[in-house]
Structure 1
Amino acid sequence: MRSDLATWPLGMNEEVLMARAFLNRVAEPASIPVWDMVRRDGPVQAAEAIRAGRVDDCVSDATAARAAHADPLADLEAAHRHGIRLVVPESDEWPHFAFAALEATALRRLETYRSGQRRHAEGGELIPPLALWVRGTTDLASVGVRSVSIVGARAATPYGERVARELASGLAERGFLVVSGGAYGIDAAAHRGAFAVAQETVVVSAGGLDRAYPPGNTALFERAAESGLLISESPPGSAPQRRRFLTRNRVIAALGTGTVVVEAARRSGAMNTAHHCVGLGRPLMAVPGPVTSAMSVGCHALIAAESGAARLVSDVDDVLLMIGSAGDLPVDPQPPSPPDLRSRLDQLDQPARQVFDGFPARAWVHPDRLAVRTGLSPLAVIRALPILEMSGLIEAADGGYRIARATRPTTSTQAP
């Protein structure tokens, strides 16, 4: 392997990088048997076994067509020419936090797969990527910590595009990273809304990053690469295909703290992303539209579902109630009930106030997640929790901790 490629990423074992590049080429994304083999045997042994044909029928069916012709060195060299790097699970840049739910869901799916449910879901399986091709300046590992995915129809209405832009710009203004798919319509409006406030946005593509898809959004892709991030599971030169769009959507759902569907037909890629979001246990939100609009049928179906899959949202504050922290919400000039809340907060030390600001507005949260949200050490968080509980600001249960009911913000009363 050429010496200038041996450092991709820095400190990464060259053998592992080559193996991951090979596996990424020979198997389509979200292949259950290939992912399981790599998980059990490691990427190097798995790649060697596939090359030698020493694999079971399921792995062979998923890899045999490309195994003899795959050239990982050529893929890495092509990536190098286009400023693309390969990020693998063994590297420091891998988004372990964002993909934790994917890992857990994949292990549960593996049990049913082994019990005989071998057919892959048409909409894509919730299986972690084997590797990701990445172009841009943002650290991939940070994506998913404070981010929101915004998706919707390609044939968007002016109403939908305006809502997507406003949501994206408002969230970017509050320090959230906007993730979407780079398509026409809602995706492009969301990316441009983020550009209007912050330079960063994340585009998850279904094809190789050596060329933008759709071509009409080339300038958008270039701008995202300059200060944000382009991501794809497909090696350079790969054409976007229908199946790759569906499997790509699980990555969009996984990289967002929550997902907002702005406009969607009843059967659409945006609805596919919404189902992936629900499967991962992430907050799902939908924007209502005119009852006469075919582009809002999917959103209305999500909101009306008996399962309560999606929360109706109409502005940035609604989204922040689902995925934000107490410190993200606007301050109401009138003190919330109970009236001494602000004075109780003033009596806390700085770490305790910082931990309180890290709480989601309504959801239960575990101490380890609070450490990520606040930037404090797990020990500092654990020390602050009893203080907050004794102050009546939070409550504890088997689900973790949450803001106490009397303290929790409503649509008209927000926590300070």
Structure 2
Amino acid sequence: MTGAGPPSWADGPEAELSARAALTRVLEPGDEHGGRWLREHGAAGLIRLLTGPAPEPGRPAGASPERLAGYRRRAALADPRRDLALAAESGGRFVYPGSAEWPTQLDDLGDARPVGLWLRGRPNLRTWALRSVAVVGARACTPYGAHMAQTLAAGLAERGWVVVSGAAYGIDGAAHRGALASGGATAAVLACGVDVAYPRGHAGLLGRIAGQGLVLGELPPGSHPTPSRFVLRNRVIAALTRGTVVVEAAHRSGSLVTARRAQALGRITMGVPGPATSGLSAGVHELLRGEAALVTDAAEVAELVGSIGELAPERRGPVLARDLLDRDTVRVLEALPAGRPAEVDELALASGTCADEVIGRLYELHSLGFVERQGDGWQLARGTPGGAIQTGAARRGGR
């Protein structure tokens, strides 16, 4: 009963763990008032304030009587031992600030940082978060968007990056599937309990992610999502990762919330361009007009978020045979008229050089198959070399 005194689990060696697990039942994700009180009083101290007798001087600063009453009702019903046992039954655990597995980049959220995170999956969250990229976008995506998300995620996973997304339909699901299909690492950040399959159509996908990667969220077991929880979940995706890639997003998209939060936190924000006529790419294009970087594949993403030396291959068109000619030889080649032969004097006048120079260049062009002799004249050879030359770099895939 409220006011009966602090619960037994609020003291002892596991007090911090138990108190923070209990507070995930009390405070909504991103509650900055609660975050400030948690910083001022500590987890166990805040639980004592919310479960013990609460005279007026003991009220947390800024807490109205109505707000405090709501917190106290929730605190009275919290049972962290039960929640921790439920999590353990499904192979889960709870990590919190100060524990060995806590990813410290989440501390950049200040008072809005999570009280703690519930996890399913074997990998170490702290280690994975150090080399992670968020891939997010529209739920009602186009086939182009799904293809780009899946290809990007597979390429990043092959390069040793953890692909983080929100397990929603559309771009999120495509990103997770791309990473899983390549045998790589992926993590899903949920707006509900990690034991709740939401959306239901992704129950199988979430099971695969938990088996091969990580499923995580701020809410305790059995919690269901709400619209506001989806929006607040995005701040965790933004803070947890080195950068955020938006594949498709309309002007009013939750993915843009993630990208803008990432920008505010100093993370790298990237966008994949789409057709100028596509409303589903309009939000991405707006990002690209600002501070976001344009990317088209995993190599370009890795170059932006990775370490020194993780460079994307140089992008250029094919090398044509005439590209290998020097400037003076090209000038003689360009002086040759189409469809008829020309004599040396005519070519010397057209190319602005002397006859002896033209003769030398013509024989060079003849040996390369560009021109042929016709009596006293020269003309362009049929099938003049103009196709692409496969250079050594091209044969090695541009590396």
User: TM (normalized to structure 2)?
Assistant: 0.71
User: Structure 1 residue 75 and structure 2 residue 60: aligned?
Assistant: no
Q: Quick one: structure 1 residues 197 and 246, their matched pair in 2 at CA, closer, same or farther if it must change by over 3 Å?
A: same
The equivalences for 1:169-180 within 5 A come to 169-180=154-165
Counterpart for residue 343 of structure 2:
none
Q: Is the 8 A contact 1:149 1:256 kept in 2?
A: yes
Counterpart for residue 219 of structure 2:
234
Counterpart for residue 25 of structure 2:
25
The equivalences for 1:163-242 within 5 A come to 163-242=148-227
In structure 1, C-alpha distance between the alignment counterparts of 2:180 and 2:189, rounded to whole Å: 16
CA deviations 1:15-54 (Å, max 9, x no partner) are 1111011111111011112111211221111111111243
Aligned residue for 1:85, secondary structure, equals: strand
In structure 2, C-alpha distance between the alignment counterparts of 1:333 and 1:241, rounded to whole Å: 44
User: Structure 1 residue 283 and structure 2 residue 265: aligned?
Assistant: no
In structure 1, C-alpha distance between the alignment counterparts of 2:269 and 2:218, rounded to whole Å: 24
State the shift of 1:129 in Å: 0.5
State the shift of 1:90 in Å: 2.5
User: Structure 1 residue 88 and structure 2 residue 96: aligned?
Assistant: yes
The equivalences for 1:147-162 within 5 A come to 147-162=132-147
Q: Is the 8 A contact 1:34 1:59 kept in 2?
A: no
CA deviations 1:331-364 (Å, max 9, x no partner) are 6699xxxxxxxxxxxxxxxxxxxxxxxxxxxxxx
User: Structure 1 residue 266 and structure 2 residue 266: aligned?
Assistant: no
In structure 2, C-alpha distance between the alignment counterparts of 1:288 and 1:198, rounded to whole Å: 27
Identity %: 47
Unaligned runs of 5+ in 2: 1-11, 317-398
User: Structure 1 residue 249 and structure 2 residue 256: aligned?
Assistant: no
Aligned AA (1:177): V
User: Structure 1 residue 128 and structure 2 residue 83: aligned?
Assistant: no
The equivalences for 1:400-415 within 5 A come to none
Aligned AA (2:98): E
Q: Quick one: structure 1 residues 203 and 149, their matched pair in 2 at CA, closer, same or farther if it must change by over 3 Å?
A: same
Higher Rg: 2
Aligned AA (2:59): V
Counterpart for residue 102 of structure 1:
109
Counterpart for residue 367 of structure 2:
none
In structure 2, C-alpha distance between the alignment counterparts of 1:332 and 1:146, rounded to whole Å: 24
In structure 2, C-alpha distance between the alignment counterparts of 1:29 and 1:332, rounded to whole Å: 43
Unaligned runs of 5+ in 1: 1-11, 107-126, 335-415
CA deviations 1:148-192 (Å, max 9, x no partner) are 000000001000000001111111111110000000100000011
User: Structure 1 residue 55 and structure 2 residue 59: aligned?
Assistant: yes
Q: Is the 8 A contact 2:249 2:281 kept in 1?
A: yes
State the shift of 1:330 in Å: 4.9
In structure 1, C-alpha distance between the alignment counterparts of 2:166 and 2:13, rounded to whole Å: 31
Match of 1:142 among 127, 131, 136: 127
Q: Is the 8 A contact 1:199 1:224 kept in 2?
A: no
Aligned residue for 1:223, secondary structure, equals: helix
Q: Quick one: structure 1 residues 58 and 236, their matched pair in 2 at CA, closer, same or farther if it must change by over 3 Å?
A: farther
Alignment size in residue pairs: 299
State the shift of 1:89 in Å: 1.1
Match of 1:311 among 286, 289, 293: 293
Aligned residue for 2:91, secondary structure, equals: coil
Aligned AA (2:183): A
Q: Is the 8 A contact 1:152 1:186 kept in 2?
A: yes
Aligned AA (1:312): L
Aligned AA (1:181): G
State the shift of 1:290 in Å: 1.0
CA deviations 1:91-131 (Å, max 9, x no partner) are 101111x224324xx4xxxxxxxxxxxxxxxxxxxx21011
Aligned AA (1:19): A
Q: Quick one: structure 1 residues 332 and 186, their matched pair in 2 at CA, closer, same or farther if it must change by over 3 Å?
A: closer
User: Structure 1 residue 42 and structure 2 residue 42: aligned?
Assistant: yes
Q: Is the 8 A contact 1:85 1:135 kept in 2?
A: yes
Aligned AA (2:109): L
Counterpart for residue 371 of structure 2:
none
Counterpart for residue 376 of structure 1:
none
State the shift of 1:58 in Å: 3.8
In structure 1, C-alpha distance between the alignment counterparts of 2:206 and 2:13, rounded to whole Å: 30
In structure 2, C-alpha distance between the alignment counterparts of 1:332 and 1:240, rounded to whole Å: 44
Counterpart for residue 310 of structure 2:
328
User: TM (normalized to structure 1)?
Assistant: 0.68
The equivalences for 1:333-344 within 5 A come to none
Q: Is the 8 A contact 2:152 2:175 kept in 1?
A: yes
In structure 1, C-alpha distance between the alignment counterparts of 2:135 and 2:245, rounded to whole Å: 5
In structure 2, C-alpha distance between the alignment counterparts of 1:21 and 1:262, rounded to whole Å: 35
In structure 2, C-alpha distance between the alignment counterparts of 1:333 and 1:209, rounded to whole Å: 42
In structure 2, C-alpha distance between the alignment counterparts of 1:182 and 1:137, rounded to whole Å: 18
Q: Is the 8 A contact 1:174 1:328 kept in 2?
A: no
In structure 2, C-alpha distance between the alignment counterparts of 1:205 and 1:64, rounded to whole Å: 26
